[in-house]
Each structure stands twice: as C-alpha cells, then as structure tokens.
Chain A
Amino acid sequence: AQSVAQPEDQVNVAEGNPLTVKCTYSVSGNPYLFWYVQYPNRGLQFLLKYITGDNLVKGSYGFEAEFNKSQTSFHLKKPSALVSDSALYFCAVRDLRNSGNTPLVFGKGTRLSVIA
C-alpha cells in the first residue's frame, strides 16, 4: 500500500525567508511524487512532480522539491517566501507498479502562513 505523511499541520515563515514543507512517503515500488497547492475556496492546483531523473524538481511559482530516496522524502522548498504563498499544500504519491495506473494518495495537508 502507498501512503504519504506530512508531519507538520502548520508552517509559519516570515516573508523573504526560505520555506520548507515536509513530506515523506511509503510505496512498494518506485514512487511518482507530486505537490499541489490549494487556495481558499478553490480546487487543488498542480505545482510539480517527480518521476525519475534529477532529484531536484522545479515547478510553478518558484517552488522546487528535492527527492531523497534514502530518506523517502520529497520536501517542497522556496528560496524566498511571499505572503501570496500562504495556502494549503498537499503532497501525493502514486506507486509506479502496474504502469502507475492507480489514483494518487494524498497527505493530510500542511497550512503555510507567510507573515509580512
């Protein structure tokens, strides 16, 4: 079975500081990893994904994520946070067995607050 853990319910960071939102995963095969963002009263928006290749993945709005196989982690990062980054962030995983034709499994979400 595949699962995702987001150990922090809430992350607070000052505007201009670097931010990190943590995610760890568990799959039987190789993982296919995603980050999504949700703004108030909106659906989830895709930010970035990792399938294979370079462990540092770049995505939308200046976000990036680092895949670490030994630590089974896929942390979301941004060098300089903006107040507009305040939102709910979800990590998700899909097991690449069976050609990856399985639905994504989501973490419980981390609320990011960027303080001016």
Chain B
Amino acid sequence: DAGITQSPRHKVTETGTPVTLRCHQTENHRYMYWYRQDPGHGLRLIHYSYGVKDTDKGEVSDGYSVSRSKTEDFLLTLESATSSQTSVYFCAISEPSYEQYFGPGTRLTVT
C-alpha cells in the first residue's frame, strides 16, 4: 500500500465522542487526502492537505477537522461522532498532478 499506514484499522465508538484517525506516510509526498467510502456513494473527499499546515475542504467536510503538523502525518478528527459518520475512511497521498495512492482504510462504527 505504497508506504501508507492508517490507525486504528477498526474502531467502534459511541455517538457524541471525539475520534481521531491517523494517516502516516513514508513516501514524503506533498499531498495527503481523506476520503470516506459508503455504498452507493463511491469515494467522497472530506479534506485534503497540500503541505504542512495547508489544508482545504472537500465535498463532505461538515463534522470533520484535520491537522498536518509534519509531512508524514495527516490526522482526521470527528469532533462529536454521529451515526451518519459510520463509514470506511481512506487516506491517500500523491505528488502534484500525479496519481493518488491509498492506504488500507479504517472501518469506523458509531453506535
């Protein structure tokens, strides 16, 4: 999976609790992305980063925040988890204008 790890790989949490997912890369790629995958919706972009401390919103950013304090790590935080955020979350990396490479995913269940 192209030097990308995600942690945790599985998580069950309760509604209203904060959750942080971590993406770590060893490729030194400039761009990092968070997507969620849901049946019937494909992959939808949550947030992305184009450099340390440089981030932008995607199409489904409400309820999510991100941080990137160093090149290799990109954190996704659900500030107060809801059942609608039950999903599989994928991190991806790329160099500008090149293809994206994906991590193995995190399966999050909000009960």
Q: When A42-B104, A43-B102, A45-B102 are in contact, do A106 and B48 touch as well, CB less than 8 Å?
A: no
Report B13 CB to chain A, min CB distance, Å.
20
Contact with B along A20-48 (1 / 0, CB 8 A): 00000000000010101000011111100
A108 in contact (CB, < 8 A): yes
Q: When A43-B90, A44-B90 are in contact, do A108 and B97 touch as well, CB less than 8 Å?
A: no
Report B7 CB to chain A, min CB distance, Å.
14
A51 and B89 CA atoms in complex are apart in Å by: 28
Contacts of B102 in A (CB 8 A): 36, 43-45
Contacts of B74 in A (CB 8 A): none
Report A91 CB to chain B, min CB distance, Å.
9
Compute the total of residue contacts between A and B using a CB distance below 8 Å: 50
Residue of B nearest to A34 (CB): B99
Contacts of A43 in B (CB 8 A): 1, 4, 90, 102-105
Q: Per a CB cutoff under 8 Å, which of A45, A90, A94, A101 touches B42? A: A90
Contacts of A44 in B (CB 8 A): 43, 90, 92, 102
Which residues of chain B in 51-90 are interfacial with respect to chain A, using CB atoms and an 8 Å cutoff?
58, 90
Contacts of B31 in A (CB 8 A): 103
B45 in contact (CB, < 8 A): yes
- Is B99's CB under 8 angstroms from A103's CB? no
- Is A46's CB under 8 angstroms from B90's CB? no
Contacts of A108 in B (CB 8 A): 40-42
A90 and B31 CA atoms in complex are apart in Å by: 20
Report A111 CB to chain B, min CB distance, Å.
10
B100 in contact (CB, < 8 A): yes
A44 and B33 CA atoms in complex are apart in Å by: 13
A6 and B71 CA atoms in complex are apart in Å by: 34
- Is A49's CB under 8 angstroms from B105's CB? no
Question: Which residues does B use to contact A, with CB under 8 Å?
Answer: 1, 4, 31, 33, 35, 40-45, 48, 50, 58, 90, 92, 96-97, 99-105
Q: Provide 7 A-B residue pairs closer than 8 Å at the C-beta atoms, listed in order of the A residue.
A: A43-B90, A46-B100, A100-B96, A101-B96, A103-B58, A105-B45, A106-B35
